């Protein structure tokens, strides 16, 4: 009995956030998450998130002039999909001590200390769970993923489009997605903020924006089906998509 109590006590100390939050606790591998999304979630809905372009099971994008025209920068990444973090890894990663300051375990083969994403990924289990949470991952054209970078979402005045007819605007370190997915983005942010409290997912300013987006773009059939499939694979529910 004493041993059992000791184990429970240690689990609460070592994993306080995981014991409270409703986020991913079943898979800490980003690579596994990407494979599962391709094979078990998007297998019959192969459409890129930001531009609506079709892609194959080999992750090749069918570029269509009426939907997407490649920009000049990162051109080699325009014909493939990459799994994009809607809430950027850097946004939540900076809340981890290992990302900001490093860790004694984060030393390379040459004895040089490192920090940032690689250190958080190596040392912190909660970070790995967040990074691999499938609700926060969407298929995006690699070039769009690269240019969006870790920029926050916002409304951008005018229409400074870089990708032809793809209504994804990136300007001054901000990104404005097409209207059809704004509610999806808002609900992903709500989920991440609720599932991983204390990680600074949503600012006060962005909360108002996301509340408006969620109202303007209600849940559709695919968003609901996507959440259902992720729940079956990952074992966690997004209560904001019902």
Please state the pTM of the whole predicted model.
0.89
Q: What band does 87 get if pLDDT is binned at 50, 70 and 90?
A: very high
Report the percentage of the chain scoring pLDDT > 70.
90
pLDDT (tens digit per residue) in 111-169: 999 999 999 999 999 999 999 999 999 999 999 999 999 999 999 988 677 898 899 99
Q: What is the DSSP letter of 149?
A: T
pLDDT at 12 over 70: no
pLDDT at 19 over 90: no
Contacts of 104 (CB under 8 A, 6+ apart): none
What is the bridge-based pairing of β-strands 174-176 and 152-153? parallel
**Among 10-24, 61-75, 113-127, 149-163, which stretch is predicted with the lowest mean pLDDT?**
10-24
Summarize the confidence of residues 201-210 as an average pLDDT. 94
Burial of residue 216 (CB within 10 Å: 0-12, 13-18, 19+) is exposed
Burial 68-90 (b: 16+ CB within 10 A, else e): bbbbeeeeebbbbbbbbbbbbbe
pLDDT at 18 over 50: no
Segment 222-231 long-range contacts (CB within 8 Å, at least 24 positions apart): 222/45, 223/183, 223/184, 223/187, 225/45, 226/41, 226/45, 227/135, 229/40, 229/41, 230/41, 230/134, 230/135
């Amino acid at each position: 009995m004493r041993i059992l109590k000791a184990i429970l006590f240690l689990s609460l100390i070592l994993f306080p956030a995981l014991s409270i939050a409703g986020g991913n606790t079943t898979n800490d591998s980003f690579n596994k998450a990407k494979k599962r999304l391709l094979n078990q979630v998007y297998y019959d809905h192969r459409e890129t998130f930001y531009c609506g372009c079709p892609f194959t099971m080999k992750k090749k994008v069918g570029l269509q002039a009426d939907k997407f025209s490649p920009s000049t920068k990162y051109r080699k990444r325009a014909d493939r999909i990459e799994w994009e973090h809607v809430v950027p890894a850097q946004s939540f990663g900076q809340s981890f001590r290992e990302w900001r300051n490093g860790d004694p375990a984060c030393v390379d083969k040459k004895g040089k200390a490192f920090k940032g994403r690689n250190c958080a990924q190596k040392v912190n289990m909660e970070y790995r769970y967040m990074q691999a949470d499938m609700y926060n991952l969407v298929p995006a054209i690699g070039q769009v993923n690269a240019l969006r970078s870790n920029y926050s979402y916002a409304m951008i005045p005018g229409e400074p489009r870089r990708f032809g007819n793809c209504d994804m605007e990136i300007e001054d370190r901000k990104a404005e997605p097409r209207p059809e997915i704004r509610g999806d983005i808002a609900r992903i942010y709500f989920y991440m903020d609720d599932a991983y409290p204390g990680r600074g997912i949503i600012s006060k300013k962005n909360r108002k924006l996301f509340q408006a987006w969620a109202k303007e773009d209600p849940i559709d059939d695919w968003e609901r089906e996507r959440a259902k499939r992720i729940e079956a694979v990952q074992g966690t529910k997004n209560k904001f998509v019902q």
